[in-house]
Structure 1
Amino acid sequence: MSDSCTSTIKALPSSPSRAGGHSAVSPLALAILLLGGFITVFDLFVVNVAIPSMQADLGADFAQIGFVIAGYELAFGVLLIAGGRLGDIHGRRKLFILGMLGFAVTSFLCGIAPTAASLIVARFLQGATGAILFPQVYALLRVMYDEAGRRRAFGLLGMTLGLAAIAGQVLGGLIVESDLFGLGWRIIFLINLPIGVVAAAFARVIPESKAPDAASVDWPGVCLATAGLLLLLLPLLEGPNIGWPAWTWGSLIAAVLLLTGFLAWERRVGLRGGHPAIDLRLFANAGFSAGAIVVLLIYSTATSLFLCFALLVQSGFGLTPFEAGSLFAPASVGFVAASLIGPRLVVRFGDSIIAVGALVYAAGILWLIVRVGALAGPGDAWSLLPALILFGFGQGLSMTPLLNLVIGFVEERHAGMAAGIVSTMQQVGGAFGVAVVGIFFVRVLAAHPAGAEPNADRYVAAFSGAMLYNLSAVVIAAALILWIARRARPT
């Protein structure tokens, strides 16, 4: 389990300004905010168990399914900082309501999408509205409560997001398998419409707040980054399916030019004393720069593993969506357990323990690769549980304390911007990982034609080949973490 949104709440900046002081806050206000956090994470995870059903219904190939997942993460990640700033400027409750309604409407568009292309567009818009909604949850909890109340509220939020990740896999699998009203996978999106409308209606009990000195949104920078990353992901996802025609290389060149333009623009805005989407001066710190690469690498392995695993156990071994979600759920138990003890282990043994966590994560992936190759049939899939639990434990031990390590390299006054950059790297890393792993997965699957050998064997080979990237990325990340842990951080 990789709960990047759970990690994000610990990192996003917010202003301490309060509209209503520390007066009593309605329990309903807290419940509505927790619901907002729940649905954004639930929809990130529920898609995993619905992937094979979507493929069968829409006739989608791997690239299209990859974009259904990567599009959500990309839009969410790129617009996350902008969403937080919009709330600071125009009012966090107002943007929460707008984000909730937008998420409900775009979820409805996902649910009625007639083609894979329309689902991809709807998922991108859903991620964008999630980026408006999610930062307000953190910011409002930050300004609504005093220190004691804040600890309790964030504890509840962390628990809620953890439950959302598990529910997305188990409950989501049950919903898809139940085929409610004959809607199949579509119901996982359609249920957000009534939930979002009701939540937006009751959100008026939330006190409004703004930041008097809020930074403006760097829209040119956001647009350059979004366009550049889209043009990067498109050929990486489509290229393996269509033989890398000339336009894919043109797209890659255009992506490099746009992303170079983005960096030049951000530098210019910073030098003029403006408010860039990303302050490039932070990357002058070698520890922070290496840490950002580690975040990208670690998070690139999470979503991609979910995608390949869902295809393996459902399309390859014929497990139902509920069985697939239940099979992966124990990894969440390992993640939560490691997340609880991880910070204490760091205090006792130092930051190097994070590298140990990454190596445990790598060991879990390697165990999965080996064990998957030995599966005899669908009933044997449950023998993967020990490897999945180890994998989840390693994820929690490496991911949870990683953000504090990376952000710790910048001065406190830059912590908000650094946290925003790291949070963006989490989501962009997830999208990038899906694209890169897809290259290996599709190539290996194509090398084992359907009908020439058992379907399970084809997907075992594709899964094992694709996971070699994940294994390599985590091992490299572990080495970088060891290097980072030995560098002095600001006091």
Structure 2
Amino acid sequence: MSADPFLPASAASGAQISRRPSRLALAILMLGGFITVFDLFVVNVAIPSMQADLGAGFAEIGFVIAGYELAFGVLLVAGGRLGDRYGRRRLFVLGMLGFAVTSFLCGVAPDSTSLIVARFLQGATGAILFPQVYALLRVLHDDAGRRRAFGLLGMTLGLAAIAGQVLGGLIVEGDLFGLGWRVVFLINLPIGLAAAHLSRAIPESRLPEATAVDWAGIGLATLGLTLLLVPLLEGPNAGWPLWTWGCLAASALTLAAFLVWERDLARRGGGPAIDLALFANRGFAAGVIVVLAIYSTATSLFLCFALLVQSGLGLSPFAAGCLFAPASVGFVAASLTAPKWAARFGDGAIAGGALVYAAGILWLIVQAGALTGPGDALSLLPALVLLGFGQGLSMTPLLNLVIGFVEERHAGMAAGIVSTMQQVGGAFGVAVVGIFFVALLTDHPAGAGPDAERYAAAFAGAMVYNLAAVAFAAALVLWIARRRKPA
């Protein structure tokens, strides 16, 4: 079975297809992976333009990002199981069409509330689309072809992250037809429709005995996490009224109900969304916490950095995207070498990568404190490259470390849990960092000083959480490494 973090539990055991996919089929699958990651990154450079156009505050912008990640994360396993049962190509087409339509809804959203709803739906359709890419690549190839296909996919996703920032910035700045940021979403409509039409080249694949989707469990998890994120994002602006504390209490009760439901469903022989028995393995449980912590820092960093360099320093979207692109290059370069470092130095290499990541964040905090205007933006480049390199060294091998604690027959379920924690961690990080960012901006009101100083102070203060979270993750990885007894 595969230990890929996005491969659903049943996908790894799907029946092999007799004929190999054509180059067109492979290209369409790559495109499916590309657009989901591209849209995750392109929003970062478009955020300041959205904020200005829609008159949105940080809470609304936070929901635009966190809503996508939340829906994507909690529905990933469901998307994989639906593909196993009803046909992976069929669900790929459905997901592609859904992603195209919801992208159009994002592009024509008249206000921030409409955009938030559309982004949540876009994340849900992405969760239907994305698992089919991994599952189809897994079942349509033999071992040698699978290695080549997944290598190509890894390169595609890396390029999508870079293109999302550079090309996305160019699209926003180009202001095509006077639509501004809306084009980054509207462009998905023709691409998605064309890809869905050409998907006939992909052979069908299914697993008739696939486990049923645990819709009750998914519903409880979604409700509980939403009740957690809403007050965390709205609380700082609203002054933490009584309803925010009520939501937090309701979130705790709902998530507790989710855990009880999952345990009882497993006892009855059903197919829970998350098999809680896996958490009896202390190494796996600790590893999931590491994933949650370290992935809670990435999206929040991108968001705050975009606001710093565009709203604070006054850089254009394209310049902002180009400024952050070297960090993505560092990530891709480190990802290619990370397996060799892990093989040579063991799990300690992952902790070392996390410390490099932390050093990059600390350097960025120090450099941000010295910013006075757009002319200082290039001083951030070395810290960004170091940060991206540290991310690649720590995040890439971390997933195999965590999944390595479970037996091979549970690898698919463990991968689903890990991939969900990646996305939920990103949404949680946006909410938590937003508390500090908004509070620090409020302490330095507009007109009281240059925007560069205001946003630099807010960025530096908010990134203290990221620094602490990565340092905690590094310490926990070292603890895991000393006690590791993988299955």
Bin of the TM-score, shorter chain as denominator length: over 0.9
Partner letter of residue 42 of structure 2? V
Equivalent residue runs for 1:354-369 within 5 Å: 354-369=350-365
Shift, 1:280, TM fit: 0.4
Whole-Å separation in 1 of the counterparts to 2:26 and 2:406: 32
Please say if 1:123 is aligned against 2:119.
Answer: yes
Whole-Å separation in 1 of the counterparts to 2:385 and 2:325: 9
Aligned pair partner of 2:70 in 71, 74, 90: 74
Partner letter of residue 132 of structure 1? I
- 1:86 corresponds in structure 2 to 82
Aligned-residue CA RMSD (Å): 1.2
Whole-Å separation in 1 of the counterparts to 2:256 and 2:288: 18
Shift, 1:16, TM fit: 3.7
- 1:316 corresponds in structure 2 to 312
Conserved? CA contact 2:14–2:84, under 8 Å:
no
Once the two structures are superposed, residues 365-385 of structure 1 have per-residue CA deviations (whole angstroms, 9 ceiling, x without a partner) of 000000111123201101111
Whole-Å separation in 2 of the counterparts to 1:17 and 1:377: 55
Whole-Å separation in 1 of the counterparts to 2:268 and 2:284: 23
Please say if 1:292 is aligned against 2:288.
Answer: yes
- 1:419 corresponds in structure 2 to 415
Stretches of structure 1 that go unaligned for 5 or more consecutive residues are 1-5
Shift, 1:19, TM fit: 5.9
Partner letter of residue 108 of structure 2? I
Whole-Å separation in 2 of the counterparts to 1:312 and 1:286: 39
Identical pairs, percent: 77
SS of residue matched to 2:319 = helix
Once the two structures are superposed, residues 361-417 of structure 1 have per-residue CA deviations (whole angstroms, 9 ceiling, x without a partner) of 000000000011112320110111110000000000000000111111111111110
- 1:26 corresponds in structure 2 to 22
Aligned pair partner of 1:226 in 198, 222, 225: 222
Whole-Å separation in 1 of the counterparts to 2:229 and 2:135: 31
Conserved? CA contact 1:42–1:167, under 8 Å:
yes
Partner letter of residue 348 of structure 1? R
Once the two structures are superposed, residues 9-32 of structure 1 have per-residue CA deviations (whole angstroms, 9 ceiling, x without a partner) of 4787614434631x2421111111
Please say if 1:345 is aligned against 2:341.
Answer: yes
Aligned pair partner of 1:265 in 261, 282, 307: 261
Equivalent residue runs for 1:102-251 within 5 Å: 102-251=98-247
Whole-Å separation in 1 of the counterparts to 2:226 and 2:466: 22
Shift, 1:63, TM fit: 0.3
Aligned pair partner of 2:14 in 8, 17, 25: 17
Conserved? CA contact 1:227–1:258, under 8 Å:
yes
Whole-Å separation in 1 of the counterparts to 2:6 and 2:285: 21
Once the two structures are superposed, residues 106-164 of structure 1 have per-residue CA deviations (whole angstroms, 9 ceiling, x without a partner) of 00000000000000000000000000000000001111111111111111111111100
1:325/1:39 CA distance change after superposition, 3 Å = same
The TM-score normalised by the length of structure 2 is 0.98
Shift, 1:93, TM fit: 0.4
Conserved? CA contact 2:284–2:402, under 8 Å:
yes
SS of residue matched to 2:236 = helix
Conserved? CA contact 2:9–2:410, under 8 Å:
no
Shift, 1:426, TM fit: 0.2
Conserved? CA contact 1:74–1:431, under 8 Å:
yes
Whole-Å separation in 1 of the counterparts to 2:408 and 2:465: 35
Conserved? CA contact 2:8–2:135, under 8 Å:
no
Conserved? CA contact 1:12–1:423, under 8 Å:
no
Say which is worse superposed, 55-64 or 480-489, in terms of deviation. 480-489
Once the two structures are superposed, residues 27-51 of structure 1 have per-residue CA deviations (whole angstroms, 9 ceiling, x without a partner) of 1111111100000000000000000
Whole-Å separation in 2 of the counterparts to 1:35 and 1:490: 35
Whole-Å separation in 1 of the counterparts to 2:440 and 2:385: 27
Whole-Å separation in 2 of the counterparts to 1:85 and 1:127: 17
Stretches of structure 2 that go unaligned for 5 or more consecutive residues are none
Aligned pair partner of 2:394 in 394, 398, 406: 398
SS of residue matched to 1:486 = helix
Aligned pair partner of 1:483 in 466, 479, 483: 479
Whole-Å separation in 2 of the counterparts to 1:357 and 1:412: 27
Partner letter of residue 441 of structure 1? F
- 2:322 corresponds in structure 1 to 326
Whole-Å separation in 2 of the counterparts to 1:452 and 1:409: 53
Paired residues, what number? Answer: 485
Shift, 1:7, TM fit: 7.1
Whole-Å separation in 1 of the counterparts to 2:398 and 2:12: 24
Conserved? CA contact 1:36–1:133, under 8 Å:
yes
- 1:3 corresponds in structure 2 to none
Please say if 1:50 is aligned against 2:60.
Answer: no
Whole-Å separation in 1 of the counterparts to 2:321 and 2:14: 42
Whole-Å separation in 1 of the counterparts to 2:173 and 2:187: 15
Whole-Å separation in 2 of the counterparts to 1:367 and 1:181: 40
Whole-Å separation in 2 of the counterparts to 1:387 and 1:214: 47
Say which is worse superposed, 410-419 or 375-384, in terms of deviation. 375-384
Whole-Å separation in 1 of the counterparts to 2:329 and 2:301: 17
Once the two structures are superposed, residues 331-359 of structure 1 have per-residue CA deviations (whole angstroms, 9 ceiling, x without a partner) of 01111111111111111111111001101
Whole-Å separation in 2 of the counterparts to 1:75 and 1:294: 21
Whole-Å separation in 1 of the counterparts to 2:444 and 2:486: 53
The TM-score normalised by the length of structure 1 is 0.97
